[in-house]
A and B are shown apart, each in its own frame.
Chain A
Amino acid sequence: MSFSLYVEVLIQGVLSGLVYGLMALGLSVIFGVVRVVNFAHGEFAVLAMYCAFVLFGLAGVDPIIASIPLAIAFFVLGYAMQRGMVQPFVTRPQHEQFILLVGVALVITNGLLLVFGPESKHVDLPYSFDSYTVAGVLIDKVRVYGAAAALAVTAALFAFFRFTSTGTAIRASADNLTGAAVVGLDVKRLYAISFGLGLACVGAAGSIMMALTDMTPMLAPSLTLLAFTIVIVGGLGSMTGALAGGLLIGVAEAVASLVVSPAIKSMVSFGLLVLVLALRPQGLFGKAES
């Protein structure tokens, strides 16, 4: 195999990794702030994929463009879900939170099966098979666009947390919940915004993924698992970790597909997961429990 093929696969891995990373970022934000694990994360990604599929079918909207309105719509959905459904569970035992979100996951998957059936769907974009050639290396155009969109959404989220007072207040509540109540932050509102932002990430990521892969409702559990793997490898609750984990898993899967076979993809990411858990249980960017 030629050297340029390796470079090509490495780049593909990075590009997919950015989209994975955005999806995982959503899981990380929700857990990091609200301390609830979104067990329906992959289902929301698939829901976003179907939304993008429908938007493409009805109005010809490019799924990569649709990632912006879908991020906004999923923000509203997440905000409402936290306010109306998840908030009362925040102080309940973890197994009850688990049941709630697994319930949500089942409703989404079965709803999609009911409406769209189990066949796999994809969209044909005019530039689906175009590619750039840089120094003899071939890069898919659609992956470049997708990664650019994912990067833009990620950057916007980081900027929000860093530079706005609401973003700082969310970091404050994640940092010290008692302190947040003491200074009079409206924690429930901040939780709702955080859940909204988490779903905005997965909404955008799902929409972008629709441009890159085929999809069926049954894809959801493997996406949930993927997001978990990334977040745990990167470090639970760390935003940088989610991004780095996404890149790492993206590259590892791409390289494994090339060197061994595409069938071994998941095995490699779980192998990485086990390795990280054994050597650095808090994840690459996580803080050790004191």
Chain B
Amino acid sequence: MLSVESLDLFYGDAQALSGVTLDVPEGEIVAIVGANGAGKTSLIRAIAGMLKPAAGRVFYKGADITGLDSHRVCNLGVGQVAEGRQVFPTLTVRENLAMGGLLPRARARKTGNMERMLELFPRLRERLTQAAGTLSGGEQQMLAIARCLMGEPDLVMFDEPSLGLSPALANDVLDTIVDLNRKGLSCLLVEQNVAASLEIAKHAYVLENGSITLSGQGSQLLADDRVRQAYLGM
């Protein structure tokens, strides 16, 4: 569904990604594991069209989407639950959701989608007219996920969705992702809880200093000594 081929990305002179190649097959959860600063967020933003890669290609459903503007990539069905949630703090919860539903691909079904989201995340219904900046971290994360789903994506890239949440809430978020995947959503997952993300991912990649150094089945990597030492502290 999504394939990235030999992607290079620079910030000025500093190289953030070099030769990154990966695949997200339709209907699967694929995890990316890597230390802080490895380039996970940069990779997601390059795929999303928010950063322009210096070399390499990104294909989505067979079409070359390299260098396309982010609103066009979104409208093809590539959604993003970004690092730091990136809600609109002074807009109400309802307005935040509406912004996710403005994509031409989903616009006509905005009202119905909003209702579905409020059923999926009942907490948001209680907060509809509240400014998003006043929500708790967990609620903001739900809002970020719901806002993304308002655009009816076929693939969602989750960037550290449980960062800053209590262990119980973090679990809820991961459960939500597994649920969405069961209903057919393809997922690219970056998660600081490496063990949990490798458990739910069919396939996983290890990113180190901007390069993929290891890849395999989630369960395989979970058993790999190098992964256990570097990311699981065992």
Contacts and interface: CB of A to CB of B under 8 A. Distances in A.
Interface of A: 165, 168-169, 171-172, 175-176, 178-188
A16 to B, nearest CB: 31
Nearest to B133: A175
A184 B70 contact: yes
Contacts of B91: 168, 171-172, 175
B162 to A, nearest CB: 18
B95 A183 contact: no
Interface string B55-82: 0000000000000011101110000101
Given A168-B95, A171-B91, A175-B88, A181 B70 contact: yes
Contacts of B100: 183
A180 B80 CA distance: 11
B50 interface: yes
A287 to B, nearest CB: 9
Interface of B: 48, 50, 69-71, 73-75, 80, 82, 86-91, 95-96, 98-100, 102-103, 147-148, 151
Q: Is the interface of A mostly helix, strand, loop or mixed?
A: helix
A256 B148 CA distance: 55
A261 to B, nearest CB: 43
Nearest to B151: A184
Contacts of B89: 175-176
A250 B35 CA distance: 58
A179 B90 contact: no
Interface centre among B70, B103, B147 (most CB of A within 10 A): B70
Contacts of B48: 181-182
A169 B99 contact: yes
A185 B82 contact: no
A179 B103 contact: no
Given A168-B95, A183-B74, A176 B86 contact: yes
Contacts of A188: 69
A183 B90 contact: no
Contacts of A181: 48, 50, 70-71
B38 to A, nearest CB: 20
A243 B34 CA distance: 50
B95 A172 contact: yes
B210 to A, nearest CB: 21
Contacts of B86: 176, 178-179, 182
Given A175-B90, A183-B147, A184-B71, A169 B80 contact: no
A59 B103 CA distance: 44
B98 to A, nearest CB: 7
Nearest to A178: B86
Contact of A179 (B73, B82, B98, B151): B82
